[in-house]
Amino acid sequence: MSVLNKKIINKFEQVSGLEVKTAISLKKYTTFKVGGPADLFVVPHHRAALQEALAAVKDHPSPLPHLILGRGSNIIFSDKGFRGLIIHTGQLDHYQVRGQTITAGAGISLSRLADIAAENNLGGLEFASGIPGSLGGAVYMNAGAYGREIKDVLIRASIMNSSGEMKKYSSQELAFSYRHSLLQEKNIMLIEAEFCLESRPASAVKSRMKKINRQRKKKQPLEYPSAGSIFKRPENDYAGRLIEEAGLKGTRIGGAEVAVKHAGFIINRGGATAADIKKLVHIVQQEVYEKSGIKLETEPEFVGDFG
Ligand SMILES: Cc1cc2nc3c(=O)[nH]c(=O)nc-3n(C[C@H](O)[C@H](O)[C@H](O)COP(=O)(O)OP(=O)(O)OC[C@H]3O[C@@H](n4cnc5c(N)ncnc54)[C@H](O)[C@@H]3O)c2cc1C
């Protein structure tokens, strides 16, 4: 049941520059195409609208669960959905190029950001071109591929806390490590990030991006909805290799399947539920542990009630 009443919804509706939707299915906002409804879903068109939305959250008579959502490519919402407020960053997608520096908003897609860099004869973000997330989600988990990570190019970030206050953080202060950043430890949001890139001809940058994306298409089951690699890379090994060795390729629960093309992916073969995915993850973790003694840790976050 929704935690919101009409009076509370009105408060959000009065914020200028804030799109407000209720009982919206989260399926279409995640790349796995699963998940139930969110009670309230807001899309701020600028920073001030986000600050006012956070003020409304604070004013709520009881604690109001809220979550910032980028492109939903590293999150799996439960089939029961999200009892609270989702703040979608899709419209915070501004950018500015100055010399070798690009500053961009949290909602910009990584592929767009990589294209902008290429068009401006700047290299360093080629690795990000095939990652289907937003900049905010990428900084949150220090996204990486092909030997590079967000932390290698980010120099500064503008962060907002839950009271709407802004602060600049250096790359060092963001405490990046493998698929980790300070954003996972504190209740703070990325609003904008600044990158220092290298001068490189657009043709060379674009050709590197094409090569990377060809490799992705060849190796990854991109024809099916998923959240990419379902497990983090264990130390000195690969989740895909361990899963394949455990004989789990093609294992299915409902519409969820351990991809035959790449065992490190669980895919939605059609009609999968979040519960199917969670069950399959559990089976894979158990079997791999029994066979190798290695505990696989999920990379995407499972959010909501899976009980
Ligand atoms: C086909 C496929 C391939 C992929 N390949 C890769 C890959 O090569 N490398 C890789 O690292 N990842 C990969 N991913 C995973 C995913 O794309 C990345 O993790 C991406 O960075 C997530 O961004 P998002 O906007 O989708 O985040 P979301 O899924 O929307 O959110 C993930 C988490 O980030 C938080 N978050 C989002 N925005 C903000 C913000 N502005 N401030 C604070 N927190 C925020 C959310 O609250 C949530 O906790 C892949 C996914 C898919 C589907």
List pocket residues of ligand 1, CB cut-off 6 Å: 31, 67-75, 89, 106, 131-134, 136-138, 140-141, 143-145, 183, 189-190, 222, 226-228, 301
pLDDT in tens, 242-267: 999 999 999 999 999 999 999 999 99
Q: 233: burial class by Cβ within 10 Å (0-12, 13-18, 19+)?
A: middle
Known active-site residue 229: yes
Share the mean pLDDT of the chain: 96
Topology (CATH) of 6-88: 3.30.43
The ligand 1 atom at the shortest distance from the C-alpha of residue 143 is 11
Measured over all CA atoms, what is the biggest interatomic distance in the chain, rounded to whole angstroms? 57
Beta bridge pairs of residue 102: 97, 195
pLDDT in tens, 14-24: 999 999 999 89
Beta bridge pairs of residue 98: 101
Q: What is the mean predicted confidence (pLDDT) over 227-255?
A: 97
CA 202 / ligand 1 centre spacing (Å): 26
Known active-site residue 269: no
pLDDT value at residue 75: 98
pLDDT in tens, 87-138: 999 999 999 999 999 999 999 999 999 999 999 999 999 999 999 999 999 9
Q: Where are the domains of the chain?
A: 6-88, 95-204, 221-303
Q: How far apart (Å, rounded) are the C-alpha atoms in residues 14 and 36? A: 26
Q: 48 phi and psi, to 5 degrees?
A: -65, -35
CATH annotation of 221-303: 3.90.78.10
Q: 128: burial class by Cβ within 10 Å (0-12, 13-18, 19+)?
A: buried
This prediction's pTM: 0.96
Three-state SS at 41: strand
CA 51 / ligand 1 centre spacing (Å): 23
CB 296 within 8 A of CB 239: yes
Write the DSSP string, 232-247. PPPTTS-HHHHHHHTT
Known active-site residue 244: no
> Same topology for domains 6-88 and 221-303, yes or no?
no
Q: How far apart (Å, rounded) are the C-alpha atoms in residues 130 and 146? A: 11
CATH annotation of 95-204: 3.30.465.10
Residue closest to 53 by CA, chosen among 134, 184, 162, 168: 162
pLDDT at 301 over 80: yes
pLDDT in tens, 30-85: 999 999 999 999 999 999 999 999 999 998 888 889 999 999 999 999 999 999 99
pLDDT at 3 over 80: no
